[in-house]
Structure 1
Amino acid sequence: MERLSDQQLEALLNDTESDLTERKKSFRGDVSRKARQVVCAFSNDLPNHNSPGVLFIGAGDDGTPSGEPITDELLLALADMKTDGNILPLPVLSVEKRILKGSEMAIVTVMPSDMPPVKYEGRIWIRTGPRRSLANEQEERILNERRRYKNLPFDIYPIPSARITDISKSVFENEFLPAAFAADVLENNGRTYEERLATCKMIVSPENTTPTVLGLLAIGKSPQDFLPGAYIQFLRIDGTDLADPVVDEEDIGGSIVELLRRTEEKLKAHNRVAVDITSTPTHQIEMPYPPAAIQQILYNAVLHRTYESTNAPVRVYWFNDRIEINSPGGPYGNVTSENFGRPGITDYRNPNIGGVLKTFGFIQAFGRGIATTRREMERNGNPAPEFETNQSAVVCTLRGKQ
C-alpha cells in the first residue's frame, strides 16, 4: 500500500478543493459516522483517480492543526473502521500518526476498491468535488461497470453455465435487500431487478445476467449444482478415531444461510447440556463446548475456505473427546502458517462472501473469530483451540473439558 510522504500529505492538507482529502478537528461526536462515509466514498473513487484518499484527524477545514491529542485509543478506533463490518466490501486502509505543520495528526489513507460499489450501512457514498453525497442511479451504474475491469476475487467470478433463473428472486428481494440496504434507499429505488442484482454483485451486470459465485452461494436455488464442494459434511463419531462407529451423518447443502443454520441446529443437538444440582447451592448449567466458539470456527471455515477448483466440503467431525473442523484451502494473503491466529493479522480470500455473512447477521465484526473462540473456550473450562495449517487446509480442533 502506498505511503505518502510528508510533503504529499501537506500538499493535500492545503488543497481545500481536492476530492481526495477530508479534514476533521477530532473524532468525537458524530465524526465517527461521517468518517465512515468518507472512507466509503474514497473506496468508491467515482472520479477514477486510482489514487488514495486521505482523512486527516486533527486538522481544521483550512488545514491548520487543531491540537487534538493523537492517542493509541484514537488510532485503534480509526483502525476499527476497517473491520467493524459497517463498510462492505471491507475497505483497504491504513492508520498512522504523523507530524505535519509541527503538530500530531492521525492519517487514514484509503485505497480505491477493486469491487465497487462499496456501501456504508446500506448506502453508497461518493465524492463530488470536496463534498460527499449518496450515489444516484447513473453513478451506481458507473461503479458497476468499473468493476468489470478490475482483478476480481473468485467469489464474484461469473459461472457461465448458470442462469439468472438459478438464483432466488424471492430470497433476494424479501430477505437480502432489506438486510443489505437502508429502508429509505429501498423506498426510493427505481432500479430494475437486474440492476439491483448487479449492484450486490450477484450477477455480472444488468446486460450480462450471468450469476456470480457470490450470487449462487448467497441466494442460489441449488448452489451445489455449480459449486459441488460448497457444502458441509457432518459426522458424529462414537469414539476418538475415524474408524469408530458413525452415529449421525449428513451432507448439508443449500445456500450459505441454509447450510449454516442447518449445521448449527445439528451442532446444538449434539452439544448436550448437563445440569449440576449437587455440587453448589444453585444449579450449574454446563455444555461440553461453548456454542459461540463452535460458531466462530464454523463461520470462519465457510468464509475463508477456497471454492475454486475443489470438490472438497467443509468437514465437521465430532468425536467423543473433540470436534475437528476442516476448511479447504490453506492460509491466504497476509496470513501464513507462521502468523496464523495472531491478533491483527487478517486477510480475506472471499471478501464478498464476508459481506453476505455480515448482512445476514452471522458476523458482527471481522478479524475477531479466533480471539472470541479462545476466550469462550477458556470461560467454559476447555483447553485452548488448536490449529493445523498447510497449503491445502486449515484444521481447528476444539477439545472437550478435561
Structure 2
Amino acid sequence: MKVYTDEELLNLLDALESDRVERKESFKGDVPKKAREAICAFANDLPNHNEPGVLFIGAKDNGNPSGIEVTDQLLLTLADIKTDGKILPLPVMTVERRQLKDAEMVVVTVMPSDMPPVKCDGRIWVRTGSRRSLANAQEERILNEKRRYKNLPFDLYPIPTAKVTDLSKLIFENEYLPAAFAPDVLEENGRSYEQRLASCKMIVSLDNPIPTVTGLLAIGKSVQDYLSGAYIQFLRIDGLELADPVIDEENIGGALGEMLRRTEEKLKAHNRTLIDITSMPTHQKIMPYPSAAIQQILYNAVLHRTYENTNAPVRVYWFNDRIEIYSPGGPYGNVTSENFGRAGITDYRNPNIGDVLKTFGFIQAFGRGIAVARREMERNGNPEPEFETNSSAVVCILRGKV
C-alpha cells in the first residue's frame, strides 16, 4: 500500500483538475455518501492510472484547509467505510491524520481494485478529470475488461469445462440482480444478460463467457459437478465422540443461497427451545445455542474456506455437548494461528464470494462474525467459542450451556 509523502500530497491537493483527487471541507450532511462514491470511483480507476486516488477531508475546493477538527471518532468512522459492506468488493484503503498547509486533514488513500467493477450501494461510480459519475455501458465494459484472472483470487478463476447454460438465469435475474444493483440502474437499457453476468463477475468477460468459481457458487445449477467439495456435511451425533451413533445426517449442496438456507433449517430443527417451569417463578425459554452465533460461524466457514484443490466439505458435527464446525483451509493472509480471532485482524481468501453472501443478505458487514458469535454466546449463557487452527483447517467449537 503506497504512503504518499507530504510533498506528494501537497501536489495532489493543488491539482484542481486531477481525476485522482477529491476534496471535502467536512464530513457532514451528504458528504459520507459522496465520500463512499469517491472511494468507489478511485477503486475502479477508469483512466487506468494504476496509482492510488486520494480523498481529503478538511480541504476546500481550492485546496486550502477548511479548519475542521480531526477527531479519533472521525478517523474511526472513515475507517469503517472499508468493511461496512456498502462498497463491494471491499476497497483497499488507508485513513490517516496528516498535517498539511499548517492544518490537520484526513487523508483517505484508495488503491485501484484488481477486481472491477466496484459498486457503491449497487451503483458503479467512475471518475474522469474532475467529473464523478455513474458508469455507462461502455465504461462498465472497460472495467470488466481490466480483470485478468491470472492476477486474481481463486474465486474469480474460470472453470473451462462449464458453460453459461450451467448458470441459473432465473436466480440471477430474480434474486441476485435486484439485490446487487439499485433499481434505477437495472432500469437502464443496453446491457445484455451476458454483460450483466460479466459485470457481476459470474463469467470472465463478454468475449470469454466462461463461468467463474464465484458464478458457479452463486447461481450454478449443479455446483458440485465442478467444485466437488463445495457442500456442507451435517451430522447429528447422539453422544460425545465421532464413533457414537449418528441420528441425522445430510450432505447439503446446491448454490450458496440454497445450501445455507437448507443448512439453517437443519440447525433450527435440532436447536430446540426448552421450557424451564421449575427454577423461576415464571417459565423461562432456554435455547441450547444462540442461532446468531451458529449462523455467523457457519457463514465464516463457507466464506473463508479454500475451494481450490480440495474435495473436503465444510463439516457441521453436532454432539450432545457441543457443535464443531470445520472449514477447509487454514488461516489466510494477514490472519495467522497466533492472531486468529483478534479484533481488527482480517483478510479474505474469497473476496468475491463475500460479495455474493453480502448481496444475498447473509452478511451485513465484514470482519465482525466472530465478535458477534462471542457476544451472542455470552448473552445466552454459553462458554466462549473455541478455535483450533492449523495449515489445513479452522475448527470452531461451540459448547452448550453448562
What is the TM-score of this pair, normalised by structure 1?
Answer: 0.99
Runs of 5+ unmatched residues, structure 2: none
The corresponding residue for 1:122 is 122
Alpha-carbon deviations, 1:21-50, whole Å to 9, x = none? 111111111111000000000000000000
Contact 1:114/1:150 (8 A) holds in 2: no
Contact 1:121/1:181 (8 A) holds in 2: yes
CA spacing shift, 1:366–1:235, aligned 2, 3 Å: same
- Residue 295 of structure 1 aligns with an amino acid whose one-letter code is Q
Alignment partner of 2:123: what SS?
A: coil
Alpha-carbon deviations, 1:105-154, whole Å to 9, x = none? 11110000000000001110000211210000110110111112761110
Q: Whole-Å Cα distance in 1 between the matches of residues 96 and 285 of structure 2?
A: 46
Q: Whole-Å Cα distance in 2 between the matches of residues 380 and 189 of structure 1?
A: 50
Contact 1:304/1:349 (8 A) holds in 2: yes
Q: Whole-Å Cα distance in 2 between the matches of residues 243 and 367 of structure 1?
A: 35
The corresponding residue for 2:245 is 245
CA spacing shift, 1:163–1:187, aligned 2, 3 Å: same
The corresponding residue for 1:41 is 41
Root mean square deviation of aligned Cα: 0.9
Contact 2:149/2:158 (8 A) holds in 1: no
Runs of 5+ unmatched residues, structure 1: none
1:177 aligns with 2:143: no
Q: Whole-Å Cα distance in 1 between the matches of residues 197 and 84 of structure 2?
A: 25
The corresponding residue for 1:316 is 316
The corresponding residue for 1:396 is 396
Q: Whole-Å Cα distance in 1 between the matches of residues 275 and 62 of structure 2?
A: 65
- Residue 328 of structure 2 aligns with an amino acid whose one-letter code is P
Q: Whole-Å Cα distance in 2 between the matches of residues 247 and 122 of structure 1?
A: 44
Contact 1:119/1:125 (8 A) holds in 2: yes
Alignment partner of 2:35: what SS?
A: helix
- Residue 91 of structure 1 aligns with an amino acid whose one-letter code is P
- Residue 282 of structure 2 aligns with an amino acid whose one-letter code is T
Q: Whole-Å Cα distance in 1 between the matches of residues 244 and 316 of structure 2?
A: 16
1:300 aligns with 2:287: no
Alignment partner of 1:362: what SS?
A: coil
Q: Whole-Å Cα distance in 2 between the matches of residues 116 and 362 of structure 1?
A: 22
> 1:48-127 counterparts in 2 under 5 A?
48-127=48-127
The corresponding residue for 2:133 is 133
- Residue 26 of structure 2 aligns with an amino acid whose one-letter code is S
Q: Whole-Å Cα distance in 1 between the matches of residues 14 and 342 of structure 2?
A: 39
- Residue 354 of structure 1 aligns with an amino acid whose one-letter code is G
Q: Whole-Å Cα distance in 2 between the matches of residues 366 and 288 of structure 1?
A: 27
The corresponding residue for 2:162 is 162
- Residue 314 of structure 1 aligns with an amino acid whose one-letter code is V
Q: Tell me the matched-pair count.
A: 402
Q: Whole-Å Cα distance in 2 between the matches of residues 93 and 265 of structure 1?
A: 38
Q: Which range is displaced more, 273-282 or 285-294?
A: 273-282
Q: Whole-Å Cα distance in 2 between the matches of residues 280 and 189 of structure 1?
A: 63
Alignment partner of 2:185: what SS?
A: helix
Q: Whole-Å Cα distance in 2 between the matches of residues 89 and 133 of structure 1?
A: 19
- Residue 374 of structure 1 aligns with an amino acid whose one-letter code is R
Q: Which range is displaced more, 102-111 or 275-284?
A: 275-284
Q: Whole-Å Cα distance in 1 between the matches of residues 238 and 31 of structure 2?
A: 55
Alignment partner of 1:184: what SS?
A: helix
Q: Whole-Å Cα distance in 1 between the matches of residues 320 and 352 of structure 2?
A: 36
Q: Whole-Å Cα distance in 2 between the matches of residues 70 and 130 of structure 1?
A: 25
Contact 1:232/1:313 (8 A) holds in 2: yes
CA spacing shift, 1:8–1:84, aligned 2, 3 Å: same
Alignment partner of 2:349: what SS?
A: coil
The corresponding residue for 1:151 is 151
Q: Whole-Å Cα distance in 1 between the matches of residues 150 and 110 of structure 2?
A: 17
- Residue 224 of structure 1 aligns with an amino acid whose one-letter code is Q
Cα distance, 1:217 vs. partner? 0.4
Cα distance, 1:274 vs. partner? 1.0
What is the TM-score of this pair, normalised by structure 2?
Answer: 0.99
Q: Whole-Å Cα distance in 2 between the matches of residues 142 and 149 of structure 1?
A: 15
